[in-house]
Amino acid sequence: MSHLIAPSILAANFGNLHSDCEIINNSQADWFHIDVMDGVFVPNISFGTPIIKSIKKIARKSMDVHLMIVEPDNYINLFRDLGSDILTVHYEACNHLHRTIDSIKQKGMKAGVALNPHSPTSLLCDIANDLDVVCLMSVNPGFGGQSFIENTYKKITELNELKTKTNSNFLIEIDGGVNSENATKLIECGANVLVAGSFVFKSSDPMSTIANLKSI
């Protein structure tokens, strides 16, 4: 399977959100990546349900929703109703992760788990078979435009070893600091999905930037 590209709406121009969403629709991107932040789990607040509802009306590709919030279980139904195709929660925010993942799947969405940079991949060994996506944070979550953390390469290798050991089929998604300088190595290490925000939307030609990431 060719790798997937998921431009992050967090880096879009919110004064002209419809236009930036159409860029994703008309590009070689595969998913809309939507970061939901509550100002508690991470030190920032992104956007709420009205914005996501508006994006859903425009989006013609899968909505990959990343919850950087406390108590995500309380919002699974809400994000299902908003049209999420993939719902990712943080390992660090879930007291009963297996229950959370099962609830997401019961609601008809694909289930993902995100790991912060300090969290080892071994934490997922007992739940790997239940996951559709593992999202590795390659920056500390909360803000866009941060520098890539080099240890991410090692964690991709570890996750691929875990996939083999557990006979799992989850996709490995990389979120944070992705650009043309590290994308090739990320794919070579075994990443399946690249989330790119500032690198796409701050470029002079976002559609070409997405095409270049896709062609790697």
25-42: pLDDT as tens digits: 999 999 999 999 999 999
C-alpha dist (Å) from residue 93 to 3, 40, 84, 169: 28, 11, 19, 23
What pLDDT is stored for residue 179 in this prediction? Answer: 96
Q: What is the pTM of this model?
A: 0.97
**179: which strand partners?**
none
**Annotated catalytic residue: which of 30, 35, 38, 64?**
35
pLDDT of residue 141: 86
pLDDT tens, position by position, 133-188: 999 999 998 766 678 999 999 999 999 999 999 999 999 999 999 999 999 999 99
148 in Cβ contact with 178 (< 8 Å): yes
pLDDT at 142: 75
175 given a catalytic annotation:
yes
Look at residue 214 and tell me whether its pLDDT is greater than 90.
yes
Label residue 5 by pLDDT band (50, 70, 90): very high
Tens-place pLDDT, residues 97-145:
999 999 999 999 999 999 999 999 999 999 999 999 999 999 998 766 6
**How is residue 199 written in tokens?**
């690198």
CA distances from 120 to 103, 114, 143, 155 (A): 24, 11, 21, 8
Q: What share of the chain is helix, strand, coil (3-state, %, to 5)?
A: 40, 20, 35
What are the pLDDT digits (tens) for 186-205?
999 999 999 999 999 999 99
3-state secondary structure of 66: strand
Determine which one of 20, 38, 64, 175 is catalytic. Answer: 175
Please name each of the domains of the chain with its CATH number: 4-214 (3.20.20.70)
- What pLDDT is stored for residue 144 in this prediction? 66
Pairing of strands 31-37, 86-90: unpaired
